[in-house]
Amino acid sequence: MEKITEVIQSVRLDDINDMLILLDQTVLPNQKVFLELKEMKDVWDAIYHLRVRGAPAIGIAAAYGVYLGTKKSEADTYEELYADFLKVKEYLASSRPTAVNLFWALDRMDKRFKQEEGKSVAEVKLALKEEAELIREEDEQVCKSIGEHALTLLKPGMGILTHCNAGTIATARYGTALAPIYLGQEQGYDFKVFADETRPLLQGARLTAWELKQAGVDVTLICDNMASIVMKEGKIQAVLVGCDRVAANGDTANKIGTSGVAILAKHYNIPFYVCAPLSTVDLECQTGEDIHIELRPSEEITSKWYGEPMAPEDVQTYNPAFDVTDHEFITGIVTENGIAYAPFSESLPKMFKK
C-alpha cells in the first residue's frame, strides 16, 4: 500500500508557475480537488473557508500568501516594498484568529524580510519565497519528530481516540496527533483508532477517517457523543489530539469538543496527550483565557454542509470553532523536542531551549 503521507500533499508551491497548490479540504472525501492560487486574496479566502485548515497548514499557506502578495508589489526600494509587505501581512492575519501558527509564520516572514535589508526588491521577493519553502520543509521534520516522541507513549494494539483532524493534510506531512499512528502503522503496531466525527464541520468524519482508511489503519468513526461509551467499554487506552494554540500554563485551544473529551478521559483514567509543534505554543498567552476563540457563521450548525436546513429558520445560534482544555486534564504535551509534563509553565519553555 502507498504511504498516504507521501501521496497527499495539501499545501505546496508550484515553482514553475509560481502558484500555491492547495488540496481543497471542504470537498473531501467525495472529491480530491487541487486549487491553483496566484493571488493573496484567494489565499485569505481559502484559509477563512477552511479549504486549507489545521494550524500548521494554515501557517504554511499564509507564508506562501505573503510571498504571492508581496511579489505583486511595484515598489522600487526596500522601504517601499516593506510598506507593501506589511499590508499583505495585516490582511492575511485577519483570516482566522485562533491558530497561532498563522501569526507565527507571518512574523517569521517579517523577520526574514528584515534580514534582507540592503538587498534589491527582486532579491527580497526571492528570499520570501525561500522562507515560505523553508517553513513547509521544516514542518515536515517537526511532525516526524512529534510522531517519534509520541510513539514512545504507545503500545502495539492500543485503542486510540482522536478528535478533529491533526493528520497529514493539516500539516506539511505526517500530521501531529496522527503522526505516531502513521509511524506505528509502518512498524506493525496495529492501533485501533476511533475518530470523533467532530461536529459541525466533520473534520473527523470527512478527513481523519478518510486519511486513516487510505493508509490502511484500523479506524472506526463515531459521533462526538459516543466518546464516553467507547471509553467506558475499555476500547480506548490513549487520547491524542492536535492543537491550535497552547498557552504558557499548558491550557490548550483545539477544535470545539476537545475539552469534553479531555474531561471524559480524566474520568475514565485514560491518558490525554496534546501533540504540539513549538510553532503552536504561545508563551505570550499566560492562560487559555488569553486565547481568542473564533466564532463562525450560524449556517455551519443550522444546515447540512451549507445546504439543506436542519434547524428552524432564524434560530439563535452560538458557534465557537474551538474550546480550551484546562491544563489539569492534559497528561503530556508532545513537541518536536520532547514531551512536556506538568507543571507546564516550567516544562514548556525548556522545550524551546533544546
List the x/- string, 91-110, binding to ligand MRU by CB under 6 A: --------x-----------
Nearer of residues 121 and 281 to ligand MRU, judged by Cβ? 281
Q: Is 25 annotated as a binding residue?
A: no
275 close to 334: Cβ distance less than 8 angstroms: yes
List, in sequence order, every beta strand (DSSP E) within the chain: 11-14, 19-23, 34-37, 159-162, 192-196, 218-222, 238-241, 245-247, 252-255, 272-275, 281-282, 322-325, 332-335, 338-340
154 close to 140: Cβ distance less than 8 angstroms: no
Residue 55 contacts ligand MRU per CB under 6 A: yes
Q: Candidates 53-61, 115-123, 260-268, 346-354: pick the segment binding ligand MRU (CB under 6 A).
A: 53-61
Residue 162 contacts ligand MRU per CB under 6 A: no
List the x/- string, 294-333, binding to ligand MRU by CB under 6 A: ---------------------------x------------
Q: Dig out the grid coordinates for 99 from the structure.
A: 491558530
Residue 303 is which amino acid? S
Indicate the residue whose CB is closest to ligand MRU.
242
Q: Is 54 annotated as a binding residue?
A: yes
Nearer of residues 99 and 209 to ligand MRU, judged by Cβ? 99
Question: What's the CA gap between 25 and 198, in Å, rounded?
Answer: 15
Residue 131 contacts ligand MRU per CB under 6 A: no
Nearer of residues 56 and 288 to ligand MRU, judged by Cβ? 56
Q: Is 112 annotated as a binding residue?
A: no
> Burial code of 185-208, b = ≥16 C-beta within 10 A, e = fewer?
beeebebbbbbbbbbbbbbbbbbb
Residue 147 contacts ligand MRU per CB under 6 A: no
Alpha-carbon separation of residue 332 from 216, 238, 247, 251 (angstroms): 27, 11, 14, 11
In whole angstroms, how close is the CB of 289 to ligand MRU at the nearest point?
19
Q: How many CB atoms lie within 10 A of CB 313?
A: 6
Strand 19-23 relative to strand 245-247, pairing: unpaired
Q: Dig out the grid coordinates for 278 from the structure.
A: 513549538
List the x/- string, 230-259, binding to ligand MRU by CB under 6 A: ------------xxx---------xx----
Residue 54 contacts ligand MRU per CB under 6 A: yes
As annotated, the active-site residues are 244
Q: Is 199 annotated as a binding residue?
A: no
Q: Is 286 annotated as a binding residue?
A: no
List the x/- string, 171-210, binding to ligand MRU by CB under 6 A: x---xx--------------------------x-------
34 close to 21: Cβ distance less than 8 angstroms: yes
In whole angstroms, how close is the CB of 241 to ligand MRU at the nearest point?
6
Candidates 45, 48, 53; CA nearest to 69 is 45
In whole angstroms, how close is the CB of 206 to ligand MRU at the nearest point?
10
Q: Number of residues interacting with ligand MRU: please give it, by CB under 6 A.
A: 19
Which of 128, 146, 164, 324 forms a contact with ligand MRU (CB under 6 A)?
164
Question: What's the CA gap between 181 and 228, in Å, rounded?
Answer: 22
Give SS3 for 19: strand
- The binding site for substrate comprises 53-55, 96, 203, 254-255
Chain residues in the site for ligand MRU (CB under 6 A): 50, 53-56, 99, 164, 166, 170-171, 175-176, 203, 242-244, 254-255, 321
